[in-house]
Amino acid sequence: MTNKRRHRIVVGVDGSIGARVALKWALEEARLRGVELDVVHAWEYLGVVTVGYIAVDRTQMEEAAQLLVERMLEQVGAAKDDDVHAMVVEGAPARVLLDASRGAALVVVGSRGRGGFSGMLLGSVSRQVVHHARCPVVVVPTPEPI
């Protein structure tokens, strides 16, 4: 394992503004440290989902998850960075992120993601990661709207 890989940073993303802010912070931190960045997105298949008149299956959900991560990487200017690795994994978000963070130097999460209540400081995934990660965790706050 290379030194860059052993000291890697893991960041969880879900397409939210909070995740984009956390991704930007994690990307800058990885560049400053000269280490690799694993960008992790978890998705869960709950059976065929109907959106309007269209049924969405597992393959379509996985493709949509991959596209979400690619777009987020483009938005922060990391789409072609060799030291950034996109990981799209089926499973519960907190569990996937904790598994991906094994052996990492740092885990980065946003303070509020999808499904958050506006008054909460931490969402359920962030809270789980803070309490169960085996490495330091950075919770990047989402700026309040002006």
Name which of 9, 68, 70 is nearest 35 in CA terms. Answer: 9
Given this model, what pLDDT does residue 117 score?
47
Report yes or no on 25 lying in a domain.
yes
Range of the domain at 134: 3-140
Q: Could you report the per-residue pLDDT of 87-130, keeping only the tens digit for each? A: 999 999 999 999 999 999 999 999 875 554 444 455 689 999 99
Report yes or no on 80 lying in a domain.
yes
CATH number at residue 7: 3.40.50.620
Total structural domains within the chain: 1
Mean pLDDT for the chain?
A: 86
**Rounded CA separation 23/25 (Å):** 5
pLDDT more than 90, % of the chain: 63
Report yes or no on 94 lying in a domain.
yes
Report yes or no on 146 lying in a domain.
no
Report yes or no on 145 lying in a domain.
no
Report yes or no on 36 lying in a domain.
yes
Q: What is the dihedral of CA 96, 99, 105, 108, to 10 degrees?
A: 20
Confidence of residue 50 (pLDDT cuts 50, 70, 90): low
Report yes or no on 104 lying in a domain.
yes
